[in-house]
Amino acid sequence: MIFPVPSLLHPPSSSSSSSFSSPSSALDPRMAFTPFLFPRAADCSPLLGPSAFMPSLAFHPGALNHTMLPKLGLGRGPMTPADFLGAHVDPFRRSMEPEPDVQDDPKVELESKDLWDQFHGFGTEMVITKSGRRMFPPFKVKVTGLDKKSKYILLMDIVSVDDCRYKFHNGKWMVAGKADPEMPRRLYIHPDSPCTGEQWMQKVVTFHKLKLSNNISDKHGFVSIPVRC
């Protein structure tokens, strides 16, 4: 958009003999702003203005800085990360808040427990890779005691049974000192979360998509396990 200022944009007379160039000679007739006001990014970029296609980014009047030319309404002030994240985080945060008058007593029962006991007796092992590997036997549980109308988020965490480091010696694993401090673990969120208690309880909940990894910087949602051997 161009805002012409006739008194300033007229080219200098060719008969002028002054050794100094007039202020108007330094101005570009195509400029969009006068030399007395500095342009801002909000006045030039449509990305920083109000968007009709992203209603979640609509803010109440006065929430952001005013534009340089308020009468023309060309744009808004710079946005902060909180402005972008607030509309997307709040709905999930509200779903995690405890609901009033919820009567529940959650209980989880392991499916195929006999198979798990057999593997535990043999001392089964699993090779963990950075790309992630699925568990076997698959982790399946039956959930009871939930409020049918309330929504729940199921998360899974794996913790160490002790703080020791092990090594394989003479055909068995032996303690080889104290383990290093654990890094912050990542919780695995069941992909069906959140669901009502009735939906969780009507079928067996399976974590067959869960993968174990020793890569603490993984960005695929795997559960990272520190290697202690």
The pLDDT tens digits of the residues spanning 202-227 come to 999 999 888 888 776 656 555 545 44
State the Cα–Cα distance between residues 200 and 107, nearest whole angstrom: 12
214: tokens are 């020793």
Last residue of a domain, one of 48, 76, 96: 96
Last residue of a domain, one of 71, 96, 121: 96
Range(s) of the domain holding residue 59:
31-96
Residue 52: per-residue pLDDT: 43
CA 136 from chain centre, in angstroms, equals 30
Residue 60 has pLDDT above 70, yes or no: no
State the Cα–Cα distance between residues 161 and 130, nearest whole angstrom: 22
Closest C-alpha to 185, from 226, 128, 144 = 226
Same domain assignment for residues 112 and 211:
yes
- Average the pLDDT over 117-143 and give the result: 85
In a domain, 13, yes or no: no
In a domain, 5, yes or no: no
Same domain assignment for residues 186 and 211:
yes
Angstrom CA distances, 39 to 34, 43, 69, 98, stand at 9, 7, 10, 48
State the Cα–Cα distance between residues 134 and 27, nearest whole angstrom: 68
Structural domain count of the chain: 2
Q: Which pTM does this prediction carry?
A: 0.50
CATH code of residue 164: 2.60.40.820
**pLDDT above 90 as % of the chain:** 19
Residue 158: per-residue pLDDT: 82
